[in-house]
Amino acid sequence: MLHFKPIFIGGCSRSGTTFLGSLLGTHKSCLCTPESQFKVEILQTIGKETNKNAYLQLVNNYRFKIWDINYPFEQFNGLPPKQIIENIITIYARNQGKQKFDYWIDHTPNNLQYAKLLLGYFPNAKFIHIIRDGRAIASSIKKLSWGWYSPKSIAQLWLTELSYGFATECALSNDKVIQIKYEDLIMSTDNVLKTLCNFIDIEYSDALLRGNGFRLPTYTRDQHTLVGRKPQVSRINAWIKDLSARYIELFEYYAGNMLVMNGYKLINQSIKPPSFYEKFFYQVIQILKTYNDKKKLRKKKDDL
């Protein structure tokens, strides 16, 4: 069994968690794995279900299937949750040709939501909270075939995920959690990586800038087209052109105070509240999008 220290990256979806994982995963001492939402189910389920039921629940989980590994029941039966997760990571590492590594880079966005649970099982873990301008997140999410669309729903998502990150920062000591900005990572990649390497306790190398330390699963490849490429500064403010002026105004109506408190400048100094028509319009669009997204998601799951 390999022994490694978990580095849990977390933040709102589309904040650059996967991009950061691919950068850190380039380090010879690090292994970056696909998102692992299923690990929470393992930690919360084992002991409450029979081993066979828990095993079937795991191997049939589409998030686990994305890893594309063969995990035999013999390496699951009767083991404690932490060892099950370590077995899964070890198998994945060997499939990737990684025989030795000291750090497991996990870029699952909701990691900070479960920081207390994860730290209970992995007391040597460290956490990275990455923050991105909520308007950029809105621009990214509304294009995808899943999730939210309206400025209100995405603003609420952003605010909620930020709250978990800030709570983690308040609960843990500075040697356990660090906050970075996505924009800083793009604008000054080397400096941010040097800070993170010092936090993790690994040696910095310019090789990390290549960002090729993670092989994207086929399932999510179309959602992470920038992973594996050099940071693109032009993408930082691309949301200004991608979103309509009114959409930006409405997002700032719902989340303007949080934007300002995190150092992001507002586009609008005077904001007109959403009209009844706009609320109704976005509610209908959200319902239709959710329905279509669920159909697409079911098809993708069936194809795994």
Q: What pLDDT was estimated at residue 232?
A: 72
Question: How buried is 123 (Cβ within 10 angstroms: 0-12 exposed, 13-18 middle, 19+ buried)?
Answer: exposed
CA–CA dist 175, 201 (Å, integer): 10
Q: What pLDDT was estimated at residue 38?
A: 95
Sheet arrangement for strand 177-181: 30-33, 103-106, 5-10, 126-131, 177-181
CA atoms within 13 A on the CB side of 123: 0
Q: What pLDDT was estimated at residue 287?
A: 85
Question: How buried is 272 (Cβ within 10 angstroms: 0-12 exposed, 13-18 middle, 19+ buried)?
Answer: exposed
Q: pLDDT by residue for the chain (304 residues), tens digit each?
A: 557 999 999 999 999 999 999 999 999 999 999 999 999 999 998 877 778 888 999 999 999 999 999 999 988 988 999 999 999 999 999 999 998 999 999 999 999 999 999 999 999 999 999 999 999 999 999 888 666 789 999 999 999 999 999 999 999 999 999 999 999 999 999 999 999 999 999 999 998 988 777 776 554 545 545 555 566 787 799 999 999 999 999 999 999 999 999 999 999 999 999 999 999 998 888 888 887 777 776 766 666 6
Q: What pLDDT was estimated at residue 217?
A: 56
Q: What pLDDT was estimated at residue 216?
A: 62
Structural domains in the chain plus CATH codes: 5-303 (3.40.50.300)
